Amino acid sequence: MHKYILSCCSTADLTETHFKTRDISYICFHYMLDDKTYPDDLGKSMPFDKFYKAMADGAETKTSQVNVDEFINYFSPFLEAGQDVLHISFSSGLSGSCQSAMIARDELRQKYPDRRLYIVDSLGASSGYGLLMDKLADLRDEGMGIDELHSWANENKLRMHHWFFSTDLTFYIKGGRVSKTSGFVGALLGICPLLNMDCNGKLIPRSKIRGKKSVIKKIVDKMEECADEGLCYDGKCYISNSACLEDAKAVADLVKEHFPRLTGEVEIYNIGTTIGSHTGPGTVALFFWGTPRHD
C-alpha cells in the first residue's frame, strides 16, 4: 500500500482496470438521461454504446458535479485511516467541482489537523486529465512524496495538451456552443471544428476544417507543433472518442506514423458520460505532453 492516496474524478476517462492497476482512487460525477440519474462510473451502469445511441435517438442529458458533502464523505475514510490525500480535480474551467473539493478540504482540515489533503486543479479533462494522472502515478511509484508530487502537478499540468474535433455538430448546436445557422451551414459543408483547452482549462474553438480527412491531419499537425521535441516526441499519447472508434483509430495510426519514438502504443479510451453529455457522438480528442499552454 502506498503512503498516500492519489485521487481524481471519473471525468479523467480511463477504465476502471487502469485506475485499479495504477492504484488511483476516483469519485464519480453524475448525469441524467431522460430524467433518470446515473453515476458517471466508467460505463458500468450504462455501457457507452448504449449511452451514445440514446443520445443519437434524441434522449435528453444533463450533468451534475460532485458536491461538498460527497467530497467530505469520499475523503473522510482515507483521513480516518491515517492516510494523506492528493486529489487532482476536473478542470475549474468546465465545472465547479474543484471549488467543492476545496471547501470540503477546508472543513476536513479542522477535523484532521495532522493529515495533508491537497487539491490541484488539473485544468484538464477526459483522457488528457487521465494521462496526467498516469504520470503522477509513475512519479509516486518512483518514490516521490506527496509534497513534491503536489508541487510537480501544479508546475507541469499545463504541459498536458488537449486537442478535440467533432464530425457531428448536433450537440454543439443543442448546447449553444454553435449557432443553428452556423451549424446548418457547417453540416452542409462537412465542417469539423477543431478545439483545444486553453491555460484556464476552457475549451476554445481554434479553426473550422472542411472534411474528416483534413481535420484528422490537422490534429496530428498540432501535435507536431506543440509536443515535446516535435516529431521526436517520446512520451505517451492517449486518445478518447465518443462512439466514433474508427475515427480515433485513424488518428492513432497517423500519430504512430509521424511519431516513431512514442512510449508504448497509442491508447484509445471512451469519452465518459459526463463530458459526452455535452459533446454527443462524433468527437475525437488527442492528448500528449508538450510546451506549456499559454492561451
CA angle, 83 then 93 then 228, to 5°: 80
Plot region of 190 (φ>0 → left; ψ -120 to 50 → alpha; else → beta): left
* pLDDT score of 292 more than 50: yes
Mean pLDDT confidence for 54-71? 95
* pLDDT, tens only, 260-277: 999 999 999 999 999 999
152-171 per-residue burial string, b: 16 or more CB within 10 A, e: under 16: ebeeebbbbbbbbbbbbbbb
* pLDDT score of 126 more than 90: yes
The number of beta carbons lying within 10 Å of the beta carbon of residue 123 is: 27
User: Which whole-number Å values give the CA distances from 272 to 39, 49, 50, 105, 161, in the listed order?
Assistant: 11, 11, 12, 26, 18
Distance in angstroms (rounded) separating the CA atoms of residues 233 and 105: 37
pLDDT band at 185 (very low <50, low <70, confident <90, very high): very low
Is the pTM here over 0.85, yes or no? yes
* pLDDT score of 236 more than 60: yes
Mean pLDDT confidence for 55-68? 94
* pLDDT score of 58 more than 80: yes
Say how far residue 212 (Cα) sits from the centre of its chain: 23
Pairing of strands 117-121, 84-89: parallel
Which cell numbers in the block locate residue 163?
486537442
pLDDT at 251: 98
Mean pLDDT confidence for 241-257? 98
Tell how many helices (H) and how many strands (E) occur in the chain. Answer: 11, 13
